[in-house]
Every structure is written in structure tokens, then in C-alpha cells.
């Protein structure tokens, strides 16, 4: 199978960022190329000096059963999930970038990918209602590519509900929500293409991030990073983290229907372990 997939182009200068806005290109670790089925991808990103900080994620709701309904009403799913999805804007020494995030509690605790906020000097969050508020990084786990930020002056938010990702099956319909290229609140649909897909993304030095991902063909593009993958009940089954995007003569192909999400059960375990 490995020989059938175009080899991704290699390191920093040949990859576009999974999270990007304007100005200087900033490349993250969990970006378009992934190692799965023996395919090597060249990307860079994590700071090897960064130490995990314990976040607090009280108020997160966890649902241990996904919906048994056979219906898939995208409008209803979007209406339920959109209030819990935010855009995260980051300024680093290299430029500006953006990603997405998932509300964990009403007081403004927000989950995202570590690579979205890695090296951030300033973080702001644009809420679903259009308000933009300041935020600070309060916890990171580079090894799982997860991070938590705290938004200020952002009370009464709508926490997302996390489902049991062990109940996800190949062929299940799913929805991805995020801010691809800054288009906040974008909703795309697809199916679960594969489960337990080993995704390994090289970081700086000897650091790598590896997890057993949910693979989906829902359209995921730069800016979706840190946003949710949603089931038919409007519950989070994964956090979108990487895409496979083969190179073209003009750069990268963008979404080609091969995206990867960190399973919700792994996410809740990390949050629990970190506090």
C-alpha cells in the first residue's frame, strides 16, 4: 500500500503550514505529511525545550455512548456543535498563525493542538458569537499534540460534549468544524475512513508525535487544526490534527480527503492526567 501513495515532500522549506494566516510562514509539527503504513513525511515544529504544564479542564462533559440514531442531520449537528468551536489567533516571533479550538468549560477553558500555540507570544480567541478576547496558554503536552488555553472575559460559553471514540466505526458519518484559512465556523462532512491509523509526525531534534488516529475524508485544511471531528449526535469524537497533502508543482494539494484526528478517548485521558 505504501508504494501507491505519493511520497510527501520533505522538511520545513517544502511544506506549507497546517495553521497559517498572513505574513511569515510558520510551520507546525502536525502538518500535512504523516507517517502511516510506512510512509515518511517531512515536517518540523515542536520546541524540544518545551515542558508539559498541567492544565485544568474542569467542566468538560463526557458522553460515553454515541448516538444510535440512523439519521444524519448536518444542520442540527452544526447548530449543536458550532457554539463550542472557536478560532485561535497566534503571534510568534516568526509571524502570525491561526487554528481552531474546542470549548471545555463555560469559563473559557479551550482545547487545541499544541502545534497551534507552540512558541506563541500572544494568543487571542474569536468566539462563536464573534467576540475576540485575549487568552493565555495554561497547559501543553507536546507528546500528544494537545494544549489548553484560557480565554479571559469569556464567561457563559457552551462546552462541547465528548463521545466515546471506541464506539466509532469505519463508515460512520462525521462533521469537521474549524477555521480553514481563517474562514471561521466552516462545516465539512465525510465519513470515518479508517481507525487506529498510526500517524507519526517528526518534530525538531529527535522529538516525534505518534498516535492511533481516526482517519476521515471530511475536508480538513490549514486552520482546521485543533478543531473537532463530530459524530451524528453532535459530540466530539476527535481533535483534527494532521492531513496528508502531496506536493504539486504549485506547492501542496491542500485537502485530498486524507485527514487525521486524535481520538476523543485519548484526549480525555490526557486532560485527566494533566489535571
**What are the pLDDT tens digits along the chain (275 aa)?**
333 333 333 222 223 334 333 222 223 323 333 333 322 222 222 222 232 322 222 333 444 444 444 589 999 999 999 999 999 999 999 899 999 999 999 999 999 999 999 999 999 999 999 999 999 999 999 888 999 999 998 889 999 999 999 999 999 999 999 999 999 999 999 999 999 999 887 654 455 677 899 999 999 999 999 999 999 999 999 999 999 877 666 666 678 899 999 999 999 999 987 65
pLDDT in the model for residue 23 = 27
**Catalytic residue selected from 100, 141, 144, 145:** 145
C-alpha cell at 106: 463555560
pLDDT in the model for residue 252 = 60
Task: Return the CATH architecture of domain 2-16+29-50+161-274.
Answer: Beta Barrel (2.40)
**Catalytic residue selected from 225, 241, 245, 255:** 225
**Catalytic residue selected from 100, 115, 165, 219:** 115
pLDDT in the model for residue 29 = 29
State yes or no: is 115 an active-site residue: yes
State yes or no: is 225 an active-site residue: yes
pLDDT in the model for residue 245 = 78
CA distance 226 to 88: 9
pLDDT in the model for residue 205 = 47
Q: How far is CA 206 from CA 29, 42, 147, in A?
A: 12, 13, 20
- Enumerate residues 6+ apart whose C-beta is below 8 A from 265: 164, 165, 166
Amino acid at each position: 500500500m505504501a508504494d501507491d501513495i505519493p511520497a510527501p515532500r520533505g522538511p520545513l522549506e517544502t511544506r506549507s503550514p497546517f495553521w497559517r494566516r498572513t505574513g511569515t510562514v510558520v510551520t507546525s509539527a502536525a502538518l500535512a505529511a504523516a507517517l502511516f503504513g510506512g510512509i515518511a513525511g517531512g515536517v518540523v515544529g515542536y520546541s524540544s525545550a518545551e515542558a508539559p504544564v498541567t492544565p485544568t479542564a474542569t467542566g468538560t462533559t463526557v458522553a460515553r455512548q454515541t448516538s444510535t440514531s440512523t439519521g444524519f442531520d448536518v444542520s442540527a449537528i452544526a447548530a449543536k456543535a458550532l457554539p463550542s468551536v472557536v478560532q485561535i489567533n497566534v503571534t510568534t516571533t516568526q509571524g502570525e498563525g491561526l487554528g481552531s479550538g474546542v470549548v471545555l468549560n463555560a469559563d473559557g477553558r479551550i482545547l487545541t493542538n499544541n502545534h497551534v500555540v507552540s512558541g506563541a507570544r500572544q494568543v487571542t480567541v474569536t468566539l462563536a458569537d464573534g467576540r475576540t478576547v485575549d487568552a493565555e496558554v495554561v497547559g501543553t503536552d507536546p507528546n500528544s499534540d494537545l494544549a489548553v488555553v484560557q480565554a479571559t472575559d469569556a464567561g457563559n460559553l457552551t462546552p462541547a460534549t465528548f463521545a466515546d471514540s471506541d464506539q466509532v466505526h469505519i463508515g460512520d458519518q462525521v462533521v469537521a468544524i474549524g477555521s480553514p484559512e481563517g474562514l471561521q465556523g466552516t462545516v465539512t462532512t465525510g465519513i470515518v475512513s479508517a481507525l487506529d491509523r498510526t500517524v507519526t509526525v517528526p518534530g525538531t531534534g529527535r522529538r516525534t508525535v505518534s498516535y492511533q488516529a481516526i482517519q476521515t475524508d471530511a475536508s480538513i485544511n490549514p486552520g482546521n487544526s485543533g478543531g473537532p471531528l463530530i459524530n451524528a449526535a453532535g459530540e466530539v469524537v476527535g481533535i483534527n490534527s494532521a492531513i496528508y497533502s502531496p506536493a504539486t508543482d504549485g506547492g501542496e494539494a491542500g485537502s485530498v480527503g486524507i485527514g487525521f484526528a486524535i481520538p476523543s478517548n485519548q484526549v480525555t485521558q490526557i486532560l485527566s492526567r494533566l489535571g
